[in-house]
Amino acid sequence: MRLLGYTRVSTRSQDAQLQVDALTSVGVEPRDIFTDVTSGSRAAVSRPGMARLLEYATAGDTVVVWRVDRLGRSRIDVLNTVHLLREKNINVRSVQDGIDPATTSGRLMLNMLATLAEYERELITERVNAGIAAARQSGTRFGRPPADPNVIAEKLAVATEARAKGHTAAAAARLVGWSRATLYRHQSAAKKNGPPTPPAPPSP
């Protein structure tokens, strides 16, 4: 079993040395520490340091972090990352939070985090599906390609909400019948042109 470290800071002006010292103090070799310097807007799996760690780690390894919040930009991102690692039979240890797979309480906490991740994803799916169902009941069509810019805006809102809740771009796009490229195209157009102007109400 190997101990692999992971550190994250938001900007290059921040010093990750505190995290590095904490990891090496529990036995992580400096050569086995993976680092990301990135804002919290990027999901963990899309960060280069985390991507390299996931490629390098094998079943039985333990990923050590200073605090568990270093694993993600939000609660759901942290939970999803823990769940992903656990699915690969990779343990997670947090120095500050007392999460240690070598202890009974640590294993319990890891199992709880993995269970919470699954629960959060199910809630997200239910909310997104409910939003799509409500849009369909109100007359919104999720055809391809939608000609009405307001339909595009509604689908884009559903996909954006899914992304904010931790879905990947591909998964969010599938929820509204788009490809990932189509989602990116509409996001780019929305940033450039702004949201579509709502149609004027009918004359009395």
Q: What is the pLDDT of residues 73-91, one digit of tens each?
A: 777 778 788 888 888 899 8
In a domain, 123, yes or no: no
CATH of the domain at 88: 3.40.50.1390
Instruction: Indicate whether 66 belongs to any domain.
Output: yes
Q: Is residue 110 part of a domain?
A: yes
Is 70 in the same domain as 18?
yes
Decide if 32 is inside a domain: yes
Asked, for residue 83, whether it belongs to a domain, the answer is yes
What is the tens place of the pLDDT at every residue in 19-54?
A: 999 999 999 999 999 999 876 556 777 889 989 999
193 CB contacts (<8 Å, ≥6 apart)? Answer: none
| Co-location of 188 and 92 in the same domain | no
Burial class (CB in 10 A: 0-12, 13-18, 19+), 113: buried
Are 15 and 107 within one domain? yes
Q: What does the pLDDT look like over 94-139, one tens digit per residue? A: 898 888 877 887 777 767 776 765 666 677 777 778 877 777 777 7
Residues 178 and 100 occupy one common structural domain? no
Catalytic residue among 10, 46, 105, 179: 10
Q: What is the DSSP string of 40-85?
A: TTS-GGGSHHHHHHHHH--TT-EEEESSGGGG-SSHHHHHHHHHHH
46 given a catalytic annotation: no
Question: How far is it, in rounded angstroms, from Cα 77 to Cα 83?
Answer: 10
Give domain status of residue 137, yes or no: no
- Answer yes or no: is 199 within a domain: no
Q: Which residues span the domain enclosing 170? A: 142-194
Kindly report whether the global pTM for this prediction surpasses the value 0.85.
no
* 90 and 161, same domain (yes or no): no
Q: Are 173 and 81 part of one and the same domain?
A: no
Domain tally for the chain?
A: 2
Q: Please report whether residue 112 resides in a domain.
A: yes
Q: Are residues 146 and 113 in the same domain?
A: no
Burial classification of residue 197, based on how many CB atoms lie within 10 Å of its CB (0-12 exposed, 13-18 middle, 19 or more buried): exposed
Cβ neighbours of 109 (radius 10 Å):
20
Are 79 and 151 contained in the same domain?
Answer: no
Torsion angle in degrees (nearest 10) through CA of 18, 22, 27, 28: -50
Indicate if 161 and 60 belong to the same structural domain.
no
State which of 117, 152, 173 marks the end of a domain.
117
30 lies in the same domain as 101: yes
Same domain, 104 and 147: no
Q: Are residues 92 and 190 in the same domain?
A: no
